[in-house]
Amino acid sequence: MDVQKIMVVGAGQMGSGIAQVCAMAGYDVFLHDLKQEYVDRGLATITKNVTRQVEKGRMTQEEKESILNRITPSIDLNNASNVDLVIEAVVENMEVKTSIFSQLDEIAPEHAILATNTSSLPITEIAAATKRPEKVIGMHFMNPVPVMKLVEIIRGLATADEVYQTIEDITHKLNKVPVEVNDFPGFVSNRILMPMINEAIYTLYEGVATKEAIDEVMKLGMNHPMGPLTLADFIGLDTCLYIMETLHEGFGDDKYRPCPLLRKYVKAGWLGRKTGRGFYTYE
């Protein structure tokens, strides 16, 4: 299947990163969100990222301009009537995602593939909100998207082989590494990562060590580039909690029970870097 036009739904941290790498790979991209201010913020992030590449000598001014010219802002979902692929990157909430997929199913051309950047939710359930489950697939990018190489590609129960192959080929064109994963809660990345972060929060909660000590042990002892509590702040504690709840509900196993301290921080609005306070305080 020949994909030339892509719509990214959601202009936040993940969506703007996905739009950037798609434009850098030569695709025409609609960057869509509910409000113009959200789209503008996403475009500002992309502009800042590619400007930095020019300053470092990794990209010419002409290349930067042509990348930005390939991105069209959108606040009208009907723009999906003109694309070959939609990549959804909105909040990690099943009701929101199924509502968007149901609308996209009505708007997007019959041949269009509908992909979701969900980090933990079942692809099969999202696909069931459409009349084209064979064309629905998971395309889970890592954060920050322009830097991280991995894309988990997740087939739903009905995903067609041709659709999988198309998405794998596109992932290579984006200069990413595709890894095929089956449709289980949390897939591979978050099924392993989030319980580790949750356990780090338990060690803090139980007074085993300070937050700095816990992060230092994992950085120096396990060679992790950042400690689990710093990483949790970077991801967003609300996102960490939501994924742990998805794992807990999906497997029905108490080993995935979210730490009470994680719940308390989220209720306090201490969500990490994005709110200026999580396990650490940010200026």
**Residue 76 marked ligand-binding:** no
**Residue 143 marked ligand-binding:** yes
**Residue 110 marked ligand-binding:** no
**Residue 252 marked ligand-binding:** no
**Residue 200 marked ligand-binding:** no
**Residue 112 marked ligand-binding:** no
3-class SS letters over the chain? CCCCEEEEECCCHHHHHHHHHHHHCCCEEEEECCCHHHHHHHHHHHHHHHHHHHHCCCCCHHHHHHHHHCEEEECCHHHHHHCCEEEECCCCCHHHHHHHHHHHHHHCCCCCEEEECCCCCCHHHHHCCCCCHHHEEEEEECCCCCCCCEEEEEECCCCCHHHHHHHHHHHHHCCCEEEEECCCCCCCHHHHHHHHHHHHHHHHHCCCCCHHHHHHHHHHHHCCCCCHHHHHHHHCHHHHHHHHHHHHHHHCCHHHCCCHHHHHHHHCCCCEHHHCECCCECC
**Residue 12 marked ligand-binding:** yes
Catalytically annotated residues: 119, 140, 152, 190
**Residue 212 marked ligand-binding:** no
Residues that constitute the known binding site for NAD(+) = 10-15, 33, 92, 97, 119, 143, 274
